[in-house]
Structure 1
Amino acid sequence: MNRHDRVAVVTGGSLGIGAEISTQLLDDGWTVHVLARNAGAYANAGHRSCRTHDVDVRDSRALKAAADDVAASAGQLDALILCAGIGYPTPLSSVTRDQYDELFETNVAGAVFTAQAFAPLLRDGQAVITVISSIAGRRGFADWSLYCASKHGLEGFTASIRDELRPRRIRVTSIQPGSVDTPSYDHLSAEEKAEFMEPATVAALTVQAIQLPPEAVVEVLFLNNAVGDL
């Protein structure tokens, strides 16, 4: 990639893993468009190469407007990082339709319609779509059925667009981390999260995969906790 004009869009880019990815890309000379419900809360929103867009990925019209803004300022994209997502326990005995709608609208539909909005801007032969998924897209966990189901759905979508976009030589990567100390786990104590990974750890490997030469792609990257599944 031309190191002087690399452009990325990061959804969920103001907090957690998304914020760390945004920061590491900025540090490496990228122009980064941060999409989040409160994008201005991103710690490096004032960076000269950062652009912020207040977008809820459940809002298709807002996504289209953001894509138009990015097209007007950047023209083409080198990376689209789909990091917006939510997660919380949903025991079967108490699961509600509102929880189902929130999790699937954010984790699945949000990724689908973000990819649709920005795909026309991706640079053929070079660009990367990176989907921040989860170990929950590989296996199920008790009491987390809806979250796991949404991440399994996200994995199916990712695998499908990987094949769909191959003729354009656009690479698609799924990042599947184990437990990471993100806002989804704010209900746990520090002791309970002692073996969790830091968001910066996941971000570092994600950025490495994004910056591979265009003839190579990491299609699936599973990064687990050293102590095993948590």
Structure 2
Amino acid sequence: MPNMNKGDFIGANAYITGGSSGIGFAIAGEMMELGSNVLLVARDEKKLAQAAAKLEAKKNSNGQRLDWLSLDIGDWQRLKSLLPEKVKTFGPPDILVNCAGIAYTHYFEKIDYQRFTEVINTNLMGTWGVTRALVQYLKERRGYIVNVSSSLGFIGSFGYTAYAPSKFGIVGFSEALRPELKPFGVRVSVLCPADTDTPQLVEDRRNMLPEVQALNGAVGLMQPQEVAKALINGMIKERFMIIPGFMNKLAYLLKRIAPWLPNLIMDGIVKNVQRKGE
């Protein structure tokens, strides 16, 4: 798809992991409205079926296709056989959006080995696995890969010693992958949203550390549709780093030009919360 524009989404096959809810679902909706054929990939069959039913209303042509695949992207053995099989029936991908992931917050010493590896395996290894299983098709079709990281992929934050490394890893993976695939006409972008109003965030907030709550409140909350629209605009402009939201962009800029400043702000917020809790 050379010279990316909105017309290139028409008839394109978009594979979206984590597409049953949250940001992934919003991205699927945007791409459906632009005329893409969408394959949703997630673990929960019930949620996938519900998401697909909602997305049916966004079809803008009779020939537009929508399908789903129940798959745990952290299961490499299943993934490497099921995805190529799905390609045979749905068609090869023109666009891959690696959006599936899990979050977990706790104090470092409260995170056990099993929980840490679960987060890394799903977020980082899952992104690697899906990309590895589909990259040959994307090369053949000069496609587009979007890996979804987070603002915690460029700023490590209190309470995220499992999640942040997985998201930093996605940024590094994407940076290394981009020049390898460029000669084949495949573009690579990494999406780094800040806190977004998703079912996962609602679940996380039930047991969120007070320090994390305070830090998240300082940044603000985005809506999934905002993030999805920012992604489409970033893809059209072929930006490598796609960073939705003014405050998020500001945080990224500060981290680059004055890396000490975000740390200073974070330390101040954490200290204030802990002082109140004494």
User: Which TM-score applies when normalising by structure 2?
Assistant: 0.73
Deviations 1:169-215 (A, max 9, x none): 100001111111123321438x98883101111011112333x2xxx
Unaligned runs of 5+ in 1: none
Structure showing the higher helix proportion among its residues: 2
Alignment of 1:80-119 (within 5 A): 80-119=96-135
| Match of residue 238 from structure 2 | 217
| Match of residue 64 from structure 1 | 80
Q: Distance in 2 between matches of 1:38 and 1:225?
A: 33
Deviations 1:16-51 (A, max 9, x none): 000111111112111001000024424441436211
How far residue 139 of structure 1 moved from its aligned partner, in angstroms, is 1.0
| Match of residue 35 from structure 2 | 29
8 Å Cα contact 2:80/2:133 also seen in 1: yes
Instruction: Choose which of 181, 188, 192 in structure 1 pairs with 2:197.
Output: 181
Q: How big is the alpha-carbon RMSD for the aligned residues of Structure 1 and Structure 2?
A: 2.4
8 Å Cα contact 2:94/2:141 also seen in 1: no
Q: Distance in 1 between matches of 2:27 and 2:99?
A: 9
Instruction: Choose which of 45, 49, 60 in structure 1 pairs with 2:52.
Output: 45
Q: Distance in 2 between matches of 1:105 and 1:92?
A: 18
How far residue 98 of structure 1 moved from its aligned partner, in angstroms, is 1.2
Q: Distance in 1 between matches of 2:239 and 2:115?
A: 32
| Match of residue 79 from structure 1 | 95
8 Å Cα contact 2:15/2:96 also seen in 1: yes
Letter paired with 1:36: A
8 Å Cα contact 2:148/2:170 also seen in 1: no
Q: Distance in 1 between matches of 2:9 and 2:99?
A: 23
Q: Distance in 1 between matches of 2:87 and 2:242?
A: 29
- Whose radius of gyration is greater, 1 or 2? 2
The reply to whether residue 13 of structure 1 matches residue 19 of structure 2 is: yes
Q: Distance in 1 between matches of 2:65 and 2:141?
A: 24
Q: Distance in 1 between matches of 2:140 and 2:164?
A: 32
Q: Give the count of matched residue pairs.
A: 225
1:14 and 1:129, CA in 2 relative to 1: closer, same or farther beyond 3 A?
same
1:39 and 1:170, CA in 2 relative to 1: closer, same or farther beyond 3 A?
farther
- Name the stretch that deviates more: 111-120 or 55-64: 55-64
Letter paired with 2:22: G
1:39 and 1:166, CA in 2 relative to 1: closer, same or farther beyond 3 A?
farther
Deviations 1:39-86 (A, max 9, x none): 442444143621100000011233223322332134432100000011
1:110 and 1:121, CA in 2 relative to 1: closer, same or farther beyond 3 A?
same
How far residue 125 of structure 1 moved from its aligned partner, in angstroms, is 6.5
8 Å Cα contact 2:18/2:41 also seen in 1: yes
Q: Distance in 2 between matches of 1:121 and 1:222?
A: 27
Letter paired with 2:129: F
1:154 and 1:4, CA in 2 relative to 1: closer, same or farther beyond 3 A?
closer
8 Å Cα contact 2:226/2:244 also seen in 1: no
